[in-house]
Structure 1
Amino acid sequence: MIYVKDLLKLKSFKEFKLVSGESGLNRSVSWPNIAQTTSISEWLVGGDVILMTGVGLEISEEFLTNIVVEAAQGQAACIIMLLHPKHIKSIPDSVIKVASDRHLALFTAPWETKLFEVIGSISMVVANDRLEERMHNEFLERLLAGEINIEDPLYVKYFEKYNLLDRKVVVTIKYDFKGKSSKNGKGVYYSERIMTEMMQSFMGYFEEINYLNKYNRQTFIISVSDMNEKKIVDTIKTIYYTFNKQFADIQMQMGIGKVTHKVKNGDCASGENMKEVLEHQSQELMKSYQQAKTTVKAIQKKGVFYYKELGIYQLLFYIDDKERINEFVENYIFPVMEYDRRYNQSLLDTLREYLENGLNVTQTAQSLYIHRNTMIKRIEKIEELLECSLKDADTCNQIFNAVKIYDLFLNSN
């Protein structure tokens, strides 16, 4: 992925001056475009590097402000304005502020700038990056699908190039953009932008990642070196909850596979030893990936889970007969579910909270923000509906299993 900050390394950008929007240097770049119309919103696709001379246009402070606003709304990468006494003389302070407020990088460039060189250099960098990313994705797809031939020297080279021989964890994310998929006909770029922002979120917490974008699914192979398991999982969950809060309208499920074992002698391996190392690491990464995918399947709406948190319920993913699973759930908690549906109540939520709080009435009441006496009445109603006593350990265990299975497999609300 190419970002605006990467363009600063180009020779053609040497004379450009960043006048506003430094916080927008992490925007991704799709392609360069020259703006020669009074409005640009109609043709923006997202990630555009906009070059503007002002020739043939009536330049005013209001006009420049509108262009910046449209660029920001259209998710442009940045704007480059060529300065000339007869066209765009300078950038007004108000326009600089608008760009800064919208985190859009705004550059000025000398009039002598050769646009064809700028466009050519940007196009070349983007094209090369796309080729590299395609090769990277193809390798990761084959690796995680178990299609790697470790006898092939090329794959050994890729393992080393992408630093895949240290301790890793695989995270899989599934997105549902709903109405966003057709928003202004720019759904493809919108989904790419969301995935890019998620990638940057992971980069902010972990030193090194490999990523794979495919349709509305994203997979990360994260280097975790000597981080302990709890810190790894807590960090990934922090990324999820922060991102989910920012993009609350997007349905997102995130599954975390188990952390791979540290590769022994990976740095000094060679010959047959290297073959063993690659076989081991390939299997470890495949296993973590499958676990992450399985965990995503367990999440019905929104959520984030670590594979190990599924506990014994992992085994249910290998049962093809879903009707049997549904039958088990109904045998234990159907009367409560039916009561909630008929009377628009939430006894199942109460039951779940009560079981998760170890049958502690006071603690559950506090969690649900209800009076203790109200809580007691709800428990009595649940026992009446289920025709059982929740004081019986075996009964509670079966009911708790039914609730957990319902949440993992059947609850889509």
Structure 2
Amino acid sequence: MNCEDLMNIPKIYSGMKLIAGGSGMYRNIRWIYFADCTQCLSDDFKVSQLIHGGELVIVTNAALTDNDDKMLSMIVEMNQKNVAGLVINVGQISPMLTEYCNDNELPLFELSYDLHLIDLSQIVCKALVEEESNTNSIDQLLAAIIYSSNINDADIKIRAGYLGTSISDKNHIVVLKLNKNNKLQDSYENLQRYIRYEFKNYGLQKMLMLWQIDTGIMLIPSELFSRDLLSNILTRIIDHISSYYGIDAKAGIGSAYEYISELKKSFQEALNSIKISHSESKSQKVFFYDNLGIYSLITQIKNDKFLDEYVNNHIGKLIQSDVLQEGDLCKTLEAYLDHNCNAAAAAEHLFIHRNTMRYRMDKIKKILCCELDDLDVYLELKMAFEIKNYRESQKDQS
């Protein structure tokens, strides 16, 4: 639940008013923290030692709110710990605090005397517990869809209805993969809430999402999200993860399927899209399975030995020559093939002289014992390099 969700609760909406920091309504609420103790007034008090991030902080002690310097110092410290928002009694909010909250996108709420603290606490805590319970049930439902061998579409739709969501028409499975590390640790919950918030802005009120270690799995209805819109949302999420957590991430999108029982295929396609991502542009972060081209065929071959033998049979001698002589023959031949067998264009791409290109190509032909202008040879070599790149990307991720 974020601050916007909080204000959508009728009793909260009628008893609390947003004063500042409206741009930060996406901030997620983890729990409530009452910062009203007399200890807060002492000079050596460090509020950062008592909060962990995501708290909705409530301050009603006039002795504290009337002290602008102390109040601002405490709020700055809490904001550095990424609290969700600040709630202060009516008539106790200073212009200085309002300005700070606006500048830092920290939601600041004014609490009326009609909404008692005990009622506010009960409402928020109940909403958080219900959200946690609902999230766990959604996790189990999505896990059943992508992992169960035998599922009944009608049963899944009924279970989804009980959870307040629906699964209809065509859907994609999206996989969000984070680089292996432990930087997030306890922040996965906040990240999931941010992702839900991003999709909620475009009409997806309740999203089926499952998080497993460093991988997020989502079910996305294709009728709500065009390819461009989905790509833009995922790019924004990935950029947020990079800037906020310092972690690189990539997203793979499987094909859209009408039947729920086929969504496990979309899940595998999304995984395969990420597997080949190392073979694509490093700047690209979002990969659609439909755009994989020849890779969509390669990823269907589960026999790794067969793939490795194909590479070895066609360009194995070239690979070995590069290893022994620290050469660039594989790189040269791949550039030659990528430029439709145009040696001049390949030389320009590699930043080498044409004579150097000619020398390397003669050496390549001698090692491979083949004529490169033969269409069948071209296709075989092209396929060999595609498989080589795919297998290398698999090893990089293992």
Shorter-chain TM-score: which interval? 0.7 to 0.9
Pairing partner for 2:71 from 53, 64, 74: 64
Choose the corresponding residue for 1:410, options 388, 392, 396.
392
Gaps spanning 5+ residues in structure 1: where?
182-186, 262-280
Q: Against the structure 1 CA distance between its residues 298 and 77, is the aligned structure 2 distance closer, same or farther, given a 3 Å change threshold?
A: same
Deviations 1:225-260 (A, max 9, x none): 297xxx52x443333444444444423232211122
Contact 1:257/1:290 (CA < 8 Å) preserved in 2?
A: yes
1:184 paired residue number: none
Specify whether residues 19 and 325 from structure 1 end up closer, same or farther in structure 2 by C-alpha distance, changes over 3 A only.
Answer: same
CA spacing shift, 1:58–1:7, aligned 2, 3 Å = closer
Deviation at 1:118, TM superposition (A): 1.3
Q: Is the 8 A contact 2:234 2:251 kept in 1?
A: yes
2:124 alignment partner, SS class: helix
190, 210, 213: which one aligns with 1:213: 210
**1:150–1:255 distance in 2 versus 1, CA, 3 Å:** closer
1:322 aligns with 2:304: yes
- Please say which of residues 73-82 and 9-18 is displaced more in the overlay: 9-18
Question: CA separation in 2, counterparts of 1:347 and 1:208?
Answer: 54
Amino acid at match of 2:89: L
State the shift of 1:6 in Å.
1.6
1:165 aligns with 2:182: no
The alignment status of 1:289 with 2:291, answered yes or no, reads no
Distance 1:61 1:358, change over 3 A: farther
Equivalent position to 1:399, from 348, 370, 381:
381
The answer to whether the Cα contact below 8 Å between 1:171 and 1:220 also exists between their aligned partners in 2 is: yes
Counterpart position of 1:9: 8
Q: Does the CA-based 8 Å contact 1:169-1:259 persist in structure 2? A: yes
TM-score (structure 2 length as normaliser): 0.77
What is the total number of aligned residue pairs between the two structures?
374
2:82 paired residue number: 75
SS of 2:249 mapped into structure 1:
strand
Structure 1 contact 209–223 (Cα < 8 Å) conserved: no
How do residues 265-276 of structure 1 correspond to structure 2 at under 5 angstroms? none
Q: Aligned with 1:124: secondary structure?
A: helix
Distance across 1 between alignment mates of 2:61 and 2:325: 66
Please state whether the residue corresponding to 1:162 is helix, strand or coil: coil
Q: Given residue 6 of structure 1, which amino acid in structure 2 is its aligned partner?
A: D
Q: Is the Cα–Cα contact under 8 Å of residues 209 and 222 in structure 1 kept in the other structure?
A: no
Task: Show CA shifts across 1:141-163 (max 9, x none).
Answer: 212334534575x8536359522
Q: For residue 139 of structure 1, what is the aligned residue in structure 2?
A: 141
Describe how 1:1-400 pairs up with structure 2 within 5 A: 2-10=1-9, 11-35=11-35, 36=37, 37=40, 38-54=45-61, 57=64, 60-82=67-89, 89-93=92-96, 95-110=97-112, 114-146=116-148, 147-149=150-152, 155-156=157-158, 158=160, 161-176=164-179, 178-181=181-184, 187-189=185-187, 191-204=188-201, 210-215=207-212, 216-225=214-223, 231-232=226-227, 234-248=228-242, 249-261=246-258, 281-300=259-278, 303-314=285-296, 316-317=298-299, 319=301, 321-333=303-315, 352=334, 354-360=336-342, 368=349, 374=353, 377-378=356-357, 380-381=359-360, 384-385=363-364, 387-388=367-368, 390-400=372-382
The alpha carbon displacement at 1:338 in A equals 6.9
Contact 2:172 2:220 survives alignment (8 Å): yes
SS at match of 2:172: strand
Query: Where in structure 2 are there 5+ consecutive unaligned residues?
Result: none
2:133 and 2:16 mapped to 1: Cα distance?
A: 27
Q: Is the 8 A contact 1:352 1:400 kept in 2?
A: yes
Change in 2 beyond 3 A, CA 1:139/1:378: same
CA contact under 8 A between 1:34 and 1:52: conserved in structure 2? Answer: yes
The Cα offsets for residues 324-366 of structure 1, whole Å up to 9 and x where unpaired, read as 4334334545676678778998776665555444345676677
Distance 2:318 2:69 in 1: 62
Alpha-carbon displacement from aligned partner over 1:361-380 (angstroms, at most 9, x marks no partner)? 676677x5x75x64774575
Check 1:195–1:12 CA distance in 2 against 1; reply closer, same or farther (3 A cut). closer
Shift of 1:177: 5.4
**Secondary structure at 2:83 match in 1:** coil
User: Distance between the aligned counterparts of 1:39 and 1:168, measured in 2?
Assistant: 49
Distance 1:105 1:225 in 2: 33
Q: TM-score, normalised by structure 1?
A: 0.74
